[in-house]
Every structure is written in structure tokens, then in C-alpha cells.
Amino acid sequence: MIKPSMLRSLHSAVSRGSSHLARRGYSSESTPDRKVVVLGAAGGIGQPLSLLMKLNPLVSSLSLYDIAGTPGVAADVSHVNTRSEVVGYQGEGELGKALEGADVVIIPAGVPRKPGMTRDDLFNINAGIVKSLCTAISKYCPKALVNMISNPVNSTVPIAAEVFKKAGTYDEKRLFGVTTLDVVRAKTFYAGKAKVPVAEVNVPVIGGHAGITILPLFSQATPQANLDHDVIVALTKRTQDGGTEVVEAKAGKGSATLSMAYAGALFADACLKGLNGVPDVVECSFVQSNVTELPFFASKVRLGKNGVEEVLGLGSLSDFEKEGLEKLKPELLSSIEKGIKFASQ
């Protein structure tokens, strides 16, 4: 039996950011109406993500879309006694209705990684799915903030950008690659080694969202703990290999779906807070960027009413991090170019 206190803490985990409204004496009814769409809602990430978004009091309308299985997921989630109205949409014929009027569109659609599969093996299947979903977004909700979860993010974000450019709707402030799971892992692993409460930990993660392109900046971690160099190296490697760790532990039965759903819900909550005018909302995300010579790069981003308000710099890096940054650039660039090339075919 789940205790009420556990439910309350689960609820506050995804809506902690909206507590500023409660503190100021606002009811949830006085927060703006916001429509959130989950594309791929019946999948391994989509189902727990849909539940977590249902728990978020900033969401007034929750639209769940997939090619199959959505009516059941929507019926199930709709029974949760929180603010948002839930509607399920199934099949391509209903995609437009699912998207109309969206403020935030979260895309976990696609196939998951299986053992022995690289993120690039996923590429052709997921790239095609993303291309068609983004074509629909450009038509039905061109002003929505798009949160890309579908892997490989290093390529799917550039694909989305190219699709939107072709449609004449591209706004680089409204397209995000969700790299929050890398941050969540870095915080968790760091807290374990530094012996500090994980809730107090912050670790920026830059670069991309696969293997060595993931670069946690433990030199900037707070609270600062003087960890040995070999510990930092091991923590970096574990953060980079976090996805593989889960794929192997699930022994062919899936990939990181639950932790990814949690990370996706956190980032969507940050986007909603930004849209609602909450000040100083800063998260790491893979966005169009001038921070390095690469056209897309993950770093800290300030979120606001238009999406990206400011892409923040990298800050000072340790020698180990500088080396990691130079190593990741060629791989990240090739993934970005692969996405652009796919979109132009």
C-alpha cells in the first residue's frame, strides 16, 4: 500500500517548482492554462512520463498521442485526481487534433535501445519518426516548445531544426534536446561519492547526449567536495555509460525508461515555469548555440516566456574537462551533420 506521505512527496517531486505559486497564496486555478502533449505516450518512457505530467499542477490539458494503445493509457491516467484534463489520440489521423493549441510538446516516441545496439543503430527508425512528427508540429502548433527525448538526441534535434526551417516555422528558442537525465545521473553518482545529500547537489553537464559527448563538469559541482582525480574520472565514465548500465541490467528487456520519464518531467516543468514568467529558471539542454564552434551544444540555458532566454557560457573547466571537451567535438559534430543530412534527403 502506498502511504499518503509517499504520494505527496512524489507529487511534490515533479511540482516543486510550482510551489512558488502556493507560497504566494495563489490557487492552481489562477495559474495560466497550459496544454502539454506527449508524442509516444503508450511507450516505455511515454507511460510513466504521462503519469508524471498528470501530477504537475501547471498542466491544465494533457494530450496523449501514439500510433496504438493510447486510449487505455489516457483512461488510466485520467482517473488521477489532479488538475489536468486528459485526452488520448490514436493513429496519424488524430495527430493534428492532439497537437492543436499545445504550449509544450514532449517527444519520447521511437524504439528503445537493445543490448549491443549503439545509439546510431537506432538512427534510421527514430529519425524517420521524428521527421514526420515535427512536420505535424510545424503545421498544428508551430509556437510550442519542443522537448526532444527520442534518441539519438545529438541527431534528432538537428533533424527537427531542419524540418522546421523547411516549413518556415523554425525558432531556435523553442527547440530543446532533453539532456536532463545526464544531469540527474551526475547528481546522483556525485552525491554518493561526495557523501552529501543529493537534493542539495548541482552538476552542470555539457556537450551532447551520448557516450563521450556527455561531459559532466564535476569541477563546478556544488556543494564542492575535494574528490580524487581517479574518482572524478570514474564518475565521468559512469555518467557517460549510464544508459548502457540500465540496458545491461534489464538484460534485453528495455532501456532507461523510468529515470528518463522523471528527467523529462523535470525539464518540462522547467519549461512551463519559464513560460509562466518564473524568474531564474536554469537547466542544461542541447540547443542551437554559439558557446562552441558546433551549431548545437548542451550547456546551461535560462528559460523564459519565449523558451530560451539566454544560452549561458561553460564557465571555467578543469584540465580533465578541457581535454574531454576537445575529444567530444568531432563525434558530436558528426552526429549533428548526420541529422542534417537525413533531414535534407
Average of pLDDT values for 1-28? 47
Q: Which residues are catalytic?
A: 209
Annotation-wise, does 299 bind a ligand?
Answer: no
Annotation-wise, does 260 bind a ligand?
Answer: yes
pLDDT of residue 24: 35
Q: CATH number of 179-339: 3.10.129.10, 3.40.390.30, 3.90.110.10, 3.90.700.10?
A: 3.90.110.10
pLDDT of residue 22: 38
pLDDT of residue 28: 47
Annotation-wise, does 116 bind a ligand?
Answer: no
Res. 13: pLDDT tops 90: no
Could you read off the pLDDT of 222-270 as tens digits, one per residue? 999 999 999 999 999 999 999 999 999 998 888 999 999 999 999 999 9
Annotation-wise, does 182 bind a ligand?
Answer: no
pLDDT of residue 190: 98
pTM score, whole prediction: 0.92
Closest to 111 (Cα-Cα) out of 93, 90, 134, 129:
129
Annotation-wise, does 42 bind a ligand?
Answer: yes
pLDDT of residue 295: 98
Domain 35-178 has CATH 3.40.50.150: no
CATH 3.40.50.720 domain locations along the chain: 35-178
CATH 3.90.110.10 domain locations along the chain: 179-339
* Burial category of 102 from C-beta neighbours within 10 Å (exposed 0-12, middle 13-18, buried 19 and up): buried
* Angle, vertex CA 33, rays to CA 95 and CA 89, nearest 5: 20
Residue 143, CB-side half-sphere exposure with 13 Å CA sphere: 8
Q: Which of 123-132, 245-254, 281-290 has the highest mean pLDDT?
A: 281-290
Could you read off the pLDDT of 161-183 as tens digits, one per residue? 999 999 999 999 999 999 999 99
pLDDT of residue 23: 36
